[in-house]
Structure 1
Amino acid sequence: MTTLPSSAPPSSTAASSAAQDTRPALARTSSTMTENLKVEVVGLNRVKGKHLIAQVRLTNTGSEKRLPWTGELGDNTRPLGEIRWASGIGVLDARARTWILPYQPADFPCLCSDQDRDGLGYFIDPGESISLYAVMPAPSGDPSTATVVTPVGPPMVEVPISDDPPVTPPGMTIPDPDAEPVTTVTRRLVAPSESLDRSEETADDGTDLHVNLSSDLLFAVNKATLTPRAKVILARTAKLVDASSGATVQVEGHADSSGNDAINDPLSTRRAQAVRQALSRVVTRQGVDFQAEGYGSRRPLYSNDTDEGRRRNRRVTVTFAKPQPAATVAPSTTPAPGATGLTGTGKADGQPISMEITGLRKLPGGLGLLTYRITNQGAEEAWFNELHHAKDWMSFKYQAAFNVTLTDVEARRRYLPARLQVADGDSVDSYCACTDVSGVRLSTEKFGPGRQREFWSLFALPETAGTLKVKIADFADLQVPVG
């Protein structure tokens, strides 16, 4: 195996030397799932101008129990057979709306630390640590910092990137990604928002805007003639198209699963054509090519098992190049309705539960990171499942803490948790860009007496809002400043 040069010579025993890694941390977080497991970024190096090497140190901060770590770092967006120990270490390319993960060689699940190959062991002893690596593409634009992501806890933002050769602890050997064929592994990050009147939902994937217009408001049942209300809805969409520089606008008609293809296919086509004709009359920009196509019920966005999912699947989607951001104006300081402060209280299994919002932070590329803390204040164990119980129509692949929304009250717009999209043949699987509570993390929503856990979600953020209304599960609404 060809390795990358390092400024630190390797030793012969990776497992025994891992605890000797005393490098200062560039960023840190803690595991939501495993108590006393600390996660630190100890190296982030751009190599050959195109690769990025992330080094992460896991430490058992407890004094009694050995901690298993092998289920913590695997990427759950890969097929089950490919979820290996450090495959979930990555970076967020916020401007490109891309989640970057380790390369995948031809004969191994990922170009990253592996428990068996690197001899790291299954457990971390009290007070001890192990160091891991992951090799991936560098984020676009040669940024000086990056947001490092893991499945373990909240993303670590503004981690400095060095262009010097990586410094490694004794025993660590980092393979050269140019020494063998590798496959780039990335996930498209889509950040949706919706109007409060539920007339449209917009998804921003960093390149295009996908505006999903509600067919229930555009048309009468089983009809393809636009309603009077459609004029107002389409006028808002036309303004977005006018602000775009793209030469093509794609209009797609979609139906829910009720009815059959003989009905859904021609109806969705006629509805797409009606919207195309109406938009072409109100868009003022010249040289725009409008295309229309109907897909019936073959491309649902959400599960058809609920009324809300079916309602959202009955849509006409207008897709065009994302407009450039408007000139920045001063943020609004009008308070949003809701309780004052950043804490809330509730009940779970009869036990008092508290919630505290610890941050709503702007990231590059119009994204934001919400972090919050849930604590069992009672004397008995409790399950708090409300973080994933609501909004099942969002149809994420696995359970996650997605029962969270942000609202810009003045703009009358609601922001939903971002999605990581993975192509699966002709369909696309969506995973929540938020705390995972599935698989090995099913116990994440189980709290012992006094137990506290950190949760997070990524969202799109409005350019001008200084305060947003935050709704987390059944806790009271809170007005939260954007930092």
Structure 2
Amino acid sequence: MTPNLKVEVVGLNRVKAKHLVAQLRLTNTGTDKNLPWTGELADNTRPLGAIRWASGIGVLDAQARAWILPYQPADFPCLCSDQDRDGLGYFIRPGRSITLYAVMPAPSGSPATTTVVTPVGLPMLNVPISDEPPVTPPGMIIPDPEAEPVTTVIRRLVTPSESLDESEETADDGRDLHVNLSSDVLFAVNKATLTPKARTVLARTAKLIDSSAGPTVTVEGHADSSGSDTINDPLSTRRAQAVRHALSALVTRQGVGYQAKGYGSRRPLYSNDTDEGKRRNRRVTVTFAKPQAAETEPVATSEPAASPGATGLTGSGKADGQPISMEVTGLRRLSGGLGLLTYRITNEGGAEAWYNELHHAPDWLSYKYQAASNVRLTDVAADRQYLPGRLQVPTDDGGVDSYCACTDVSGVRISTEKFGPGQAREFWGLFALTEGGSTMQVKIADFRELQVPVQ
């Protein structure tokens, strides 16, 4: 996302079987301007005061659905390079390089490779992990994560999907499945009696519960912001109880316990400022341990996305009167039931253009910052649509902020939607991508829908 900034992983070392030391080389490939690096490598899910640190260097633990970032000591934002303390300065001069480090927990399962993530570009897949001690440049001192108390910084990755008939949506956090059943499908307005169509919807959920090994199923009723608590609270409770009763009759697995509770309008998932947000907030959420499915190992590759060549994976449109093009550069299956979509958008015109459609998704208000979230993957055979993953960050007040597991377009990365004449930018997004079809329908913003092969 930053012109003339080249990022290379030059070291990835597992230490004491539980820590990971990452070293990245940043190079200014330009010829005439100094390049600032500090704000570019900062983690935007932490306070902005940490922008001079390389706190955004991390790895994706796909199996655990975790986005792992550098440890946080008591006195510093992260166990990573700092422009002042490490004498790196604010700028990289033309043609020069600097090397940064970050120390974090090692990904689970002692994998031979991992995916390295930074705020500045596409995730880097299948980077080898060495169990040898790190080899550092002269003058670099890697701090010992066991020398002082440190806090682990891990962002839980949740991957949402929804049925094409809008009857339910599912959020997978790697441990549990949260199945949000539409109250508009299950019940008539202001009623708690299940509709005839509800049995079909609940039968699908019961099948998932049968495939789970968890002993407990939690059923929660929720309402939108319309009406008062005196109406919403008892109605949401009765609806949760109705779903619990129906599921207990449909689930065939023995030893399953059920808990049901209503929360009224106090736990919205989406903004109640739109009709679509209200529709999604009217729901009954069924939560249980995620069923364990067999994993398909991803095909090893040295690049995050190879150009598909003349396969027609392109689209065109207009932005601010300028011709703008899009090309899908890859849809890759990762481990842990994840997939990485990469694509390129180019301003083909001769004048500057803003392209705002990338964040104009129906659920864009659900994110802390605007992001390239207006992307959907559809598996017609499975009757499912997949939305970009979300990074969950706990807040001081006990809530959760959601950040898109995709390219930022605002917040700390201002003007990403602004394209100069002829300028191209690479974008990415993480999605659930389970076993099955060899192609997916991909819809990016207002470009035409494409049939994209899964690599």
Which interval holds the TM-score relative to the shorter structure? over 0.9
The 5 A counterparts of 1:194-233 are 194-233=162-201
The equivalent position to 2:130 in structure 1, one of 156, 162, 166, is: 162
How far 1:78 sits from its partner (Å)? 1.4
Q: Are residue 314 (structure 1) and residue 314 (structure 2) matched?
A: no
Instruction: Output the CA distance in 2 between the equivalents of 1:398 and 1:172.
Output: 34
Cα distance between partner residues in 1 of 2:209 and 2:276: 28
* 1:286 aligns to 2:257 (yes or no): no
From 286, 294, 301, the equivalent of 2:269 is 301
1:175 aligns with 2:143: yes
Identity of aligned residues (%): 81
Residues 214 and 340 of structure 1: is their aligned pair in 2 closer, same or farther, counting only changes over 3 Å? Answer: farther
Alpha-carbon distance in structure 2 between the residues aligned to 1:293 and 1:387: 37
Deviation at 1:79, TM superposition (A): 2.6
Cα distance per residue 1:34-92 (max 9 Å; x no partner): 21111111100000110000111111111111111111011111133344421110000
Corresponding residue SS for 1:444: coil
1:246-287 deviation digits (Å, cap 9, x = unpaired): 100000111111112111111111110000000000100010
Separation (CA, whole Å) in 2 of partners of 1:393 and 1:43:
36
Instruction: Indicate the RMSD between aligned Cα atoms, in angstroms.
Output: 1.3
What CA distance in whole angstroms lies between the structure 2 residues aligned with 1:415 and 1:54? 31
With over 3 angstroms needed to count, the CA separation of the structure-2 counterparts of 1:393 and 1:455, relative to structure 1, is: closer
**Alignment-derived partner of residue 345 in structure 1:** 316
Distance 2:178 2:404 in 1: 18
Does 1:49 find its partner at 2:21? no
Match of 2:362 among 375, 378, 391: 391
Q: Which amino acid aligns with 1:470?
A: V
Q: 2:447 maps to what in 1?
A: 475
1:407 alignment partner in structure 2: 378
Q: Partner residue of 1:416?
A: 387
1:165-214 deviation line (CA, Å, top 9, x unaligned): 00111121110000000000000000000000000000110011000000
1:359 aligns with 2:330: yes
Matched, 1:146 2:117: no
User: How far is the alpha carbon of 1:465 from its aligned partner?
Assistant: 1.3
Aligned to 1:115: 83
The range that moved more, 340-349 or 177-186, is 340-349
Superimposed CA distance per residue, residues 265-316 of structure 1 (whole angstroms, 9 cap, x where no aligned partner): 1111111000000000010001000110111111111111111111101100
- Shift of residue 326, structure 1, vs aligned partner: 5.3
Matching residue of 1:37: 5
Q: Does 1:78 pair with 2:46? A: yes
* Structure-1 residue corresponding to 2:299: none
SS at match of 2:133: coil
Q: Give the whole-Å Cα distance in 2 for the aligned partners of 1:340 and 1:50.
A: 43
2:303 is aligned to: none
Offset of residue 119 of structure 1: 1.2
Q: Name the aligned partner's letter for residue 54 of structure 1.
A: A
Cα distance change, pair 258–402 in 1 and its aligned pair in 2 (3 A): same
What's the offset of the Cα at 1:394?
Answer: 5.5
Which residue matches 1:437?
A: 409
Gaps of at least 5 residues in structure 2 are: 297-309
Question: Are the counterparts in 2 of residues 368 and 460 from structure 1 also a CA contact under 8 Å?
Answer: yes
- Give the deviation of 1:327 after TM superposition: 8.3
Q: Secondary structure at the match of 1:387?
A: helix
Who is 2:300 aligned against?
none
Matched, 1:460 2:432: yes
Aligned equivalents of 1:364 and 1:234: distance in 2?
Answer: 29
CA 1:327 to 1:434, structure 2 compared with 1: closer, same or farther past 3 Å? Answer: closer
| Aligned-partner SS, 1:442 | coil
Question: What SS class does the counterpart of residue 278 from structure 1 fall into?
Answer: helix
Other structure's SS at 1:276 match: helix
1:480 partner letter: V
Tell me how far apart the structure 2 counterparts of residues 84 and 251 of structure 1 sit (CA, whole Å).
Answer: 45
Distance 2:41 2:362 in 1: 27
Match of 2:352 among 360, 381, 394: 381
TM-score, normalised to structure 1's length?
0.90
How far apart are the structure 2 equivalents of 1:304 and 1:276? 26
CA deviations on 1:198-240 (whole Å, 9 max, x unpaired) are 0000011001100000001101111111111101100000000
Alpha carbons 1:47, 1:163 under 8 Å: kept:
yes
- How far, CA to CA, are the matches of 2:454 and 2:142 in structure 1? 39
- Read off the aligned partner of 2:292 and give its amino acid letter: Q
- Name stretches of at least 5 consecutive residues in structure 1 with no aligned partner: 1-31, 329-338
Aligned with 1:133 (options 54, 77, 101): 101
Q: 2:57 aligns with which of 78, 89, 98?
A: 89
Alpha carbons of structure 1 residues 327 and 69: separation in structure 2 relative to 1, 3 Å:
closer
Name the CA distance, whole Å, in 2 between partners of 1:413 and 1:54: 37
Provide, for residues 306-352 of structure 1, a one-character-per-residue CA deviation record: whole Å limited to 9, x for no partner.
11111101100000011111587xxxxxxxxxx97211111111111
CA contact (8 A) 2:364 2:373 kept: no
Which whole-Å CA distance do the structure 2 matches of 1:426 and 1:296 have between them?
19
Tell me if 1:372 matches 2:340: no
2:435 partner letter = E
Contact 2:53 2:77 (C-alpha < 8 Å) held by counterparts? no
**Is the CA contact 1:241–1:320 (under 8 Å) kept in the aligned structure 2?**
yes
The residue number in structure 2 matching 1:332 is none
> Aligned equivalents of 1:310 and 1:50: distance in 2?
44
- Which whole-Å CA distance do the structure 1 matches of 2:239 and 2:393 have between them? 28
1:428 has 2:400 as partner: yes
Q: Is the 8 A contact 2:115 2:127 kept in 1?
A: yes
Amino acid at match of 2:379: D
Instruction: Measure how far apart 1:116 and its partner are.
Output: 1.3
Per the TM alignment, residue 392 of structure 1 is displaced from its structure 2 partner at its CA by: 3.6
